Structure 1
């Protein structure tokens, strides 16, 4: 009966078979259903695949895939060690890698034919190779409890070699303009490039996979690129480069994405949008994520062993980031827990493209985050002059910083770096230890805890060109020698309410610049603060201060 239920014999053809058996007086037997079941399974050893990594089984596995696709079914890789070059997916095929089975990628580039997808994207003509390749396929899956190992270290390109390293390193999985995709249960190891790249795909489901990728440059866990209706859940990843990564390298935005219940480790950024950001990232819900240090702590290719970023939302090539909700995140050890950046690198994804203006970063909510181990460079939320980030809400956030900043940092001029590669340390040492916010409007902070392990003479917050924003219930550390807890520079219509300063300070708020106005300071608890605000050397219009306890 096991086979009966699993293969839906209650379909019309199935019912006809059952009726015929009853009429003939036949008895249902395991043998009968076993034969029916076997017709849907294609064991690669039946097509000549050999459990021997000295033998290339590409042709045998591909033949099994081709036969399976005629009527749909499952290609089974049984327990054993098999080696293959590029495999081409076909419609209605599930590749099942059984427990105890490992599919190794060939060590020879000649076994990975070049492919030129019928789709325009950045690096088209350069990215060409993959161990598992799907283009314009429907209803495909990779499942099982086994392993795919790309043997990526063997494709290392020495520094200075006169070759584009992207063109001679295959992905493990590359799927383009395909739909109804399921990746479930498998262990993915050691890609020569990104582990997985899903480009312009629809209805993508990635569940319960385990990724370990520390063998080569650009060892991302997964890259979702211009895909719609994406669900990623219950995954574990440990990578040298970025973890769950969303890119926009073509004219198609990422839309309708859910990520939940994952454990991530990365030497770079654990959750990232960008840096390749040509079109957009819309309607995201990301929740219940643990970000922890990598198990590989003694070496790294990119980033740092601790990880450089927890949540990084970056648009620098004209893309829109719009409608992102991130909640219930635990971040341990990364240098910068939260980094949001709107820049203007303006890199094209095809030569004729025209990028008229910077992108958009708006309508982002980040809540229920606990982060420890953040380093001296602060978190930041930054746009550009005349192109602010908008409608950003942070609530129920607790961040522990290393501390160690000095008074000299406060007066440092922070460069705009408009066209630079976006990374948490792009501005250098920031003039505050908590959050640096510049060129922004409608920013809302509530119930935020910012504290330092060691003494830090910088303020907790630095606001520059910030408009129409509320900062409520900010609990911030201060140490002997602090001359202020918040810097407000050329900002208007700002509310500070219900904040608490823990420790001594000369002033709660210090004003800089000529254009501060309509600042409301009310009901803050400042027991060791000498004065609520420092009168600016320049004009400040309409400051209202009431109910503050000193």
Structure 2
């Protein structure tokens, strides 16, 4: 009896395991016609994705090995799981990214090559695992370099002709014609277009043809624990949400050939037509190495960007730290931005850059939907070393940058703070040690508070604070602890209502140096 019972038990257990394996929603790609030997298996992978969706959803599992594929179309309720030791490698044959699909490319909705991983109008899509996604972007980079570097006009390739035919009537601003005329739009590695519940977690992504993770018009996007590595490559931004809401980026490590993280919402008239802001964004616990900017907002921001927090990040070796950029003609409002607890080192240009003059060829125009706006931006608790320029703020006369504050900032830089055309700006507990020029230079601005600002490395015959054409400014609670030649220099016919209060100038040789165009008295007490 015992022997019969054991046989029956083992038989039932084996049957249970078989049924469980068949119904748990996992599809091993090696059992679905794929291979891990580096041979093209796009069709098998796509069939597995379609099969999982038909079954209500599931996980496409890539065990260790080398998988070669062309563009993949993601579907509802699908997880791509790439195991440790597995590499999902994308073909460098451009034909494998046809037919064209609708996507947002550099802020304009158009038809072009399919992103390597693409989903449209779907929900619940996930890419996870400890494996690698390799975009093999070098072929794409070389093609754009070939076109851009040509000294004479080239005959259009078949792909350029296809792009032209697929986008008849697409309007762009005149300044953008140079880019549009190349008509060769490298695809982003990942774009979900109008999707919900998007998650990318744990994987390493490298060698993207263009922007790497680029959700567009999506709701509830999470990118967590992702490593992105795109060395020596053009326009290979790391993470670029555009016109998305409820975006969470955390614990990522990024080193790329353009901006590490960029928040966008569309370009010019096309961005205003779609009128979809990016909002409710959190960026936390990330490290950024090589890149044009650590976290950048713009320059495609015509749909608006609001409610963004950036915290607990390290920028080490980026060209800039925090950068906001826009230009006349873009329109859009960037507002309600909070940055805190940031450490920067080896910043090649500006630690902070806020620029409404990104296109220097524009001229002043009446305020309209074309006028970009930066307002309600607050920075606190930042340490910077080996920085080239601490900060540059550049507004436009018809729309000064408004309501900007810096608190508890300590930066070692070659050059200091430079603020031009702004209003309602406050600096509290800001120390900037410079090698060239004033630590704080402000011009063409109004409603300014400088509270406990200082330098421990004053420069001979150079003011700590330099003002030109400013009004309604309070300079208070300042104490230069080290011997200083000049604390404040003021000039400009438009300068007025400047107050000094509760300052200690025990170590200052010249408290105030007046410029030749200054026509007012400065009140001190």
The question of a shared fold, defined as TM-score above 0.5 by the shorter chain, is answered with yes
1:262 & 1:467 partners in 2: Cα distance?
Answer: 35
2:417 & 2:14 partners in 1: Cα distance?
Answer: 66
Q: Which residue of 2 is the match for residue 3 of structure 1?
A: none
Q: Which residue of 1 is the match for residue 229 of structure 2?
A: 212
In the TM superposition, 1:125-524 aligns within 5 A as 125=110, 127-155=112-140, 156-157=142-143, 158=146, 159-161=148-150, 162=154, 167=184, 169-214=186-231, 216-249=233-266, 250=271, 251-293=275-317, 307-316=318-327, 317-335=330-348, 336-343=350-357, 345=359, 356-375=369-388, 377-402=389-414, 433-452=415-434, 455-456=435-436, 458-479=437-458, 481-501=460-480, 503-524=482-503
27, 30, 48: which one pairs with 1:64? 48
Q: Which residue of 1 is the match for residue 101 of structure 2?
A: 116
Structure 1 position 90, deviation (Å): 0.7
- Residue 95 in 1 paired to residue 106 in 2? no
1:213 & 1:119 partners in 2: Cα distance?
Answer: 21
How big is each residue's C-alpha offset from its partner over 1:190-214, in whole Å with a ceiling of 9 and x where there is no partner? Answer: 1111112111111101111111111
Structure 1 position 121, deviation (Å): 7.6
Unmatched runs of 5 consecutive residues or more in structure 1 = 1-24, 294-306, 349-353, 403-432
| Aligned CA distance change for structure 1 residues 480 and 287 (closer, same or farther; 3 Å) | closer
Give the conservation status (yes or no) of the 8 Å contact 1:322–1:363. Answer: yes
- Tell me the C-alpha RMSD between the 2 structures: 2.6
How big is each residue's C-alpha offset from its partner over 1:249-274, in whole Å with a ceiling of 9 and x where there is no partner? Answer: 13311010111111111231011011
Structure 1 position 515, deviation (Å): 1.6
TM-score by length of 1: 0.80
1:41 & 1:483 partners in 2: Cα distance?
Answer: 69
How big is each residue's C-alpha offset from its partner over 1:208-243, in whole Å with a ceiling of 9 and x where there is no partner? Answer: 111111153111111111100101111111112110
| Aligned CA distance change for structure 1 residues 530 and 177 (closer, same or farther; 3 Å) | same
Give the conservation status (yes or no) of the 8 Å contact 2:295–2:322. Answer: yes
TM-score by length of 2: 0.84
| Aligned CA distance change for structure 1 residues 449 and 141 (closer, same or farther; 3 Å) | same
1:496 & 1:33 partners in 2: Cα distance?
Answer: 75
> For this pair of structures, how many residues does the alignment match?
469
32, 42, 63: which one pairs with 1:78? 63
Give the conservation status (yes or no) of the 8 Å contact 1:510–1:536. Answer: yes
1:355 & 1:289 partners in 2: Cα distance?
Answer: 36
Give the conservation status (yes or no) of the 8 Å contact 1:246–1:274. Answer: yes
How big is each residue's C-alpha offset from its partner over 1:451-484, in whole Å with a ceiling of 9 and x where there is no partner? Answer: 13xx43x111111122112111112144453242
Secondary structure at the counterpart of residue 236 of structure 2: coil
- Say which structure is richer in helix: 2
Unmatched runs of 5 consecutive residues or more in structure 2 = 1-8, 155-159, 161-180
Structure 1 position 542, deviation (Å): 5.2
Structure 1 position 389, deviation (Å): 0.8
